[in-house]
Amino acid sequence: MQIAERLTKIPPYLFMELRKKIAKAKAEGVDVINLAIGDPVEPTPDGVIEELYLRAKDPENHCYPTDEEKGMISFREEIARWYLERYGVLLNPDDEILGLIGSKEGCHHFVLGRINPGDIVLMTDPGYPAYRSSILMGGGEPYSMPILEENDYLPVFEDIPADIVKRARGMFLCYPNNPTGACATRDFFDRVVKFAKENDIAVCYDNPYSEIVFDDQERLSFLSAEGAKDVGVELNSLSKPYNMTGWRIGMAMGNPDLIAAISKVKENTDSGVFNPIQYAAIYALKNEETNIENMLNIYARRRDLVLKTLDRIGISFKPPKGTFYLWVPTPDGMNSIDFTNLLFEKAAVVVAAGTAYGEHGEGYIRISLTVTDERLKEAMERIEKEFA
C-alpha cells in the first residue's frame, strides 16, 4: 500500500541499528539502562489520581468535553491564575487560552492553523524532532537555525539568509531547551518579538520545561515580553512538571487570532480533552506545587551525580541551567554516534546521540535524569569503571 508523500518526507528514525542492538542485548539478558528518554519515572501525585477517579465516577462527565475543543472555562481560568502568579503574564481565558492534548498537539496544530504550502518555518538545530515532522505534515518547509554553545545556544537571526526570512511565516523556539538545557533571557525575548514583527513571522514558543530550572535561573514565559502576544503563542504542558506525560494535557496561550486558528483545527480534529482529565489538571495546577519542588530537588541531586562522574572521566563543561537533560560534549573529539555506541557496548548504558537533534548536535550526547536514583547510580558506576 502506498502511503502519503507527506509522511515519506519525515526522516526515518536515525538509530535503528542501536535500537536493534538494545533489543538483542535485552533478549540475551543484559541489564540495559536507558538514559535516552525524557519521561519522569516518579508517579503522578496521588491527589491528581484521586481527582481523576472521583470525576470519572460522575456521569455528568461522561459526555463530550464541556466547552468542547477550547477546554472547560474553569481549566482556562486556572491556567490564567497559574500564568499570572508564576510569570506575571495576564491572559484572558475567553480568547487567549486553549486546552490541548499535550504541547506536542499544539506544535502540530500551530502549523496547520498558520502555514500555507511552501511557507518556511524556522526551527533550531539541534532541536526537538517533532517540530520538523509537524512542519512537513502541515505542508511547510523547515529551515534550521544553528544554535551553538558560543552563542549560549540561542539562534542568531542576522545569520539567516534574506530570501529565507522573506518566505518565513512561522518559527519554533523552546527554552529551557530540549536537548541543550539552555535557558533564554528577557533580552532574547525582545529580539524575538522585534524580528517576528518586522518579518511577519508567527512564533510558537514551546515551553514545557518552564518550571524545570536550577541554581539561580529565573522561570520565564515568552509571553512576559512586551509585544509577545502580538506575534505568537506559548505552549505549556502538565507532562513534565507534574509527572503526567501519559495523561496528554497541555495548553496554548497568547495571540487571539492564533488561538482561534488552533481552536478551529481542534474543532475539526478532536473534541477536546475528557473532562475528568481537565479536572485532574486543575487540581495539579492548584495543589501540586510541592511536587515540582520535590522533583527539582531530585533532578538537582542526579545532575550533580552525573556531572561529578563525567568530571572524573575527564569530561568537564559548564552545564546550562534548564530541563532534566544534560547536553554533554563527547570526549577527545569523538563523534556522537561512536560515543553512544561505546557507552552501550562497554556499560550497557543508552544515551541519545546529539545528531538525533540535528547536524549541530554532532560532538554531544544527551543524558536524561528521569530514571530512578538507583539506576542512575548504577549507570554512573559502570561508566566510571569503564572510562576512568
Q: Closest approach of Cβ 250 to ligand PLP, in Å?
A: 4
- Torsion sign over Cα 112, 113, 119, 120: negative
Q: Closest approach of Cβ 251 to ligand PLP, in Å?
A: 9
Contact call for residue 266 and ligand PLP (CB under 6 A): no
Nearer to ligand PLP, 128 or 214 (CB): 128
CA dihedral of residues 356, 357, 358, 361 (deg, nearest 10):
-90
Nearer to ligand PLP, 154 or 165 (CB): 154
Contact call for residue 124 and ligand PLP (CB under 6 A): no
3-state secondary structure of 148: coil
How many positions of this chain bind ligand PLP (CB under 6 A)? 13
**CA–CA distance, 357 with 180 (Å, rounded to integer):** 10
Out of 71, 93, 99, 102, the residue judged to bind ligand PLP by CB under 6 A:
102
- On whether the CB atoms of residues 232 and 79 are closer than 8 A, the answer is no
The 19-38 contact track toward ligand PLP, x by CB under 6 A, reads -------------------x
The 142-181 contact track toward ligand PLP, x by CB under 6 A, reads --------------------------------x---x---
Nearer to ligand PLP, 102 or 232 (CB): 102
Per-residue burial over 66-89, b if 16 or more Cβ lie within 10 Å, else e, is bbebbbbeebbebbbebbeebbeb
Nearer to ligand PLP, 371 or 383 (CB): 371
Out of 71, 170, 208, 322, the residue judged to bind ligand PLP by CB under 6 A:
208
Query: E strands within 241-300?
Result: 250-254
118 to 105, 145, 258, 360, 388: CA distances (angstroms)? 22, 18, 19, 25, 51
Residues 6+ apart with CB under 8 A from 51: 276, 279, 280, 283
Residue for cell digits 554533554? 328
Q: Closest approach of Cβ 68 to ligand PLP, in Å?
A: 20
- On whether the CB atoms of residues 252 and 79 are closer than 8 A, the answer is no
Residue for cell digits 518556511? 120
Out of 245, 255, 278, 330, the residue judged to bind ligand PLP by CB under 6 A:
245
Residue nearest to ligand PLP (CB): 102
Nearer to ligand PLP, 93 or 127 (CB): 127
Out of 34, 124, 210, 237, the residue judged to bind ligand PLP by CB under 6 A:
237
Out of 103, 134, 291, 355, the residue judged to bind ligand PLP by CB under 6 A:
103
The 41-80 contact track toward ligand PLP, x by CB under 6 A, reads ----------------------------------------
Amino acid identity for residue 57 in this structure: K
**Is the N-terminal amide bond of 126 cis, ω within 30° of 0?**
yes
Q: Grid coordinates in use for 228?
A: 509577545
Residue 350, phi then psi, degrees to nearest 5: -100, 125
Contact call for residue 113 and ligand PLP (CB under 6 A): no
Out of 44, 239, 275, 368, the residue judged to bind ligand PLP by CB under 6 A:
239
Q: Closest approach of Cβ 208 to ligand PLP, in Å?
A: 5
Interaction site with ligand PLP (CB under 6 A): 38, 102-104, 128, 174, 178, 206, 208, 237, 239, 245, 250
